[in-house]
Chains A and B, each alone.
Chain A
Amino acid sequence: MSVVIETSGLTKVYQMGEVEVHALRGVDLTVEDGEFVSIMGASGSGKSTLMNVLGCLDRPTSGEYILSGKNVSELTPNEFAEVRNTRIGFVFQVFNLLPRTTALDNVELPLLYDHTGHVRDARAEAVAALERVGLGDRITHEPSQLSGGERQRVAIARALVNRPSIILADEPTGNLDSVTSVEIMGLFKELNSQGITIIIVTHEHDIAEYTRRMIEMKDGAIIRETMRAGRQPE
Chain B
Amino acid sequence: MRLRNLLKIALKSLTKNRMRSLLTSLGVIIGVGAVIVMIAIGQGAQADIEQQITALGANMVMVFPGSSWSHGVSQGAGSRNRLTLDDAEAIRERATLVTAVSAEVRVSAQVIGGDSNWSTSIQGVDPEYQEVRDWSTVAGEFFTARDVRAKAKVAVLGKTVADNLFPGSDPVGERIRIRNTPFKVIGVLESKGQSAYGSDRDDVVMVPATTALYRLSGGRYINRIFVSAVSTEASKATEDELIAILREEHSLEPGEDDDFRVRSQAEFLETATETSRVMTLLLGAVAAVSLVVGGIGIMNIMLVSVTERTREIGIRLAVGARASDVLVQFLTEAIVLALVGGLVGILLAIGVSVFLDRVIGMTAIISPGIVALAFCFSGAVGVFFGYYPARKAARLNPIDALRYE
Contact call B318/A57, Cβ cutoff below 8 A: yes
Contact call B320/A96, Cβ cutoff below 8 A: no
Interface membership of B402, Cβ < 8 A: yes
- Chain A's closest residue to B315 (CB) is A96
Task: List which A56-94 residues lie within 8 A (CB) of chain B.
Answer: 57-59, 77-78, 81-82, 84-86, 90, 92
Q: Which residues in A have their C-beta under 8 angstroms from that of B12?
A: 101, 105
On chain A, the number of residues with a Cβ less than 8 Å from chain B's Cβ atoms is: 28
One digit per residue, 1 when the CB lies within 8 angstroms of any chain B CB and 0 when it does not, for chain A 97-138 equals 110110001000110111101000000000000000000000
Q: Which residues in A have their C-beta under 8 angstroms from that of B317?
A: 81, 84
Interface membership of B263, Cβ < 8 A: no
Partner of A84, one of B1, B8, B318, B324: B318
Interface membership of A11, Cβ < 8 A: no
Task: List which B303-359 residues lie within 8 A (CB) of chain A.
Answer: 311-312, 314-325
Contact call B2/A96, Cβ cutoff below 8 A: no
- Chain B's closest residue to A95 (CB) is B315
- Chain A's closest residue to B401 (CB) is A57
Task: List which A1-31 residues lie within 8 A (CB) of chain B.
Answer: none
Smallest distance from the beta carbon of A205 to chain B beta carbons, Å? Answer: 27
Partner of A85, one of B17, B314, B319: B319
Q: Which residues in A have their C-beta under 8 angstroms from that of B42?
A: none
Interface membership of A158, Cβ < 8 A: yes
Partner of B320, one of A59, A84, A92: A84
Knowing A109-B316, A113-B319, A113-B320, the reply to whether A84 touches B398 (Cβ < 8 A) is yes
Knowing A52-B399, A57-B397, A59-B397, the reply to whether A86 touches B315 (Cβ < 8 A) is no
Contact call B16/A58, Cβ cutoff below 8 A: no
A209 to B339, CA, bound (A): 57
Partner of B321, one of A52, A81, A90, A97: A81
Contact call B399/A112, Cβ cutoff below 8 A: no
Knowing A105-B12, A112-B5, the reply to whether A158 touches B319 (Cβ < 8 A) is yes
A77 to B16, CA, bound (A): 29
Q: How many inter-chain contacts with C-beta < 8 Å in the A-B complex?
A: 69
Contact call A98/B320, Cβ cutoff below 8 A: no
Task: List which B270-323 residues lie within 8 A (CB) of chain A.
Answer: 311-312, 314-323
Knowing A57-B397, A84-B398, the reply to whether A110 touches B16 (Cβ < 8 A) is no
A120 to B17, CA, bound (A): 29
Dominant SS at the B interface?
helix
Most buried by B among A52, A57, A85, A158: A57
Number of chain B interface residues as a range = 20 to 34
Q: Which residues in A have their C-beta under 8 angstroms from that of B17?
A: 100
Q: Which residues in B have their C-beta under 8 angstroms from that of A77?
A: 322-323
A117 to B4, CA, bound (A): 13
Task: List which B1-29 residues lie within 8 A (CB) of chain A.
Answer: 1-2, 5-6, 8-9, 12, 16-17
Contact call A117/B315, Cβ cutoff below 8 A: no
Task: List which A25-65 residues lie within 8 A (CB) of chain B.
Answer: 52, 57-59
Partner of B319, one of A52, A58, A110, A117: A110
Task: List which B151-165 residues lie within 8 A (CB) of chain A.
Answer: none
Q: Which residues in A have their C-beta under 8 angstroms from that of B400?
A: 58
Q: Which residues in B have their C-beta under 8 angstroms from that of A197?
A: none
Q: Which residues in B have their C-beta under 8 angstroms from that of A162?
A: 320
Q: Which residues in B have their C-beta under 8 angstroms from that of A158?
A: 319
30 A–B pairs (Cβ distance < 8 Å), ordered by A: A57-B397, A57-B398, A57-B399, A58-B397, A58-B398, A78-B322, A78-B324, A81-B317, A81-B321, A81-B323, A84-B318, A84-B319, A84-B398, A90-B318, A92-B402, A96-B314, A96-B315, A96-B318, A98-B315, A100-B16, A109-B315, A109-B316, A109-B319, A110-B320, A112-B5, A113-B319, A113-B321, A113-B322, A158-B319, A162-B320
Contacts A81-B322, A98-B312, A112-B8 supplied; 20 other A-B pairs, CB < 8 Å: A57-B397, A57-B402, A58-B400, A59-B397, A82-B320, A84-B398, A85-B319, A85-B320, A96-B314, A97-B315, A100-B16, A109-B316, A109-B319, A113-B319, A113-B320, A113-B321, A113-B322, A114-B2, A115-B322, A117-B1
- Please report A residues at the B interface, Cβ cutoff 8 Å: 52, 57-59, 77-78, 81-82, 84-86, 90, 92, 96-98, 100-101, 105, 109-110, 112-115, 117, 158, 162
- Please report B residues at the A interface, Cβ cutoff 8 Å: 1-2, 5-6, 8-9, 12, 16-17, 311-312, 314-325, 397-400, 402
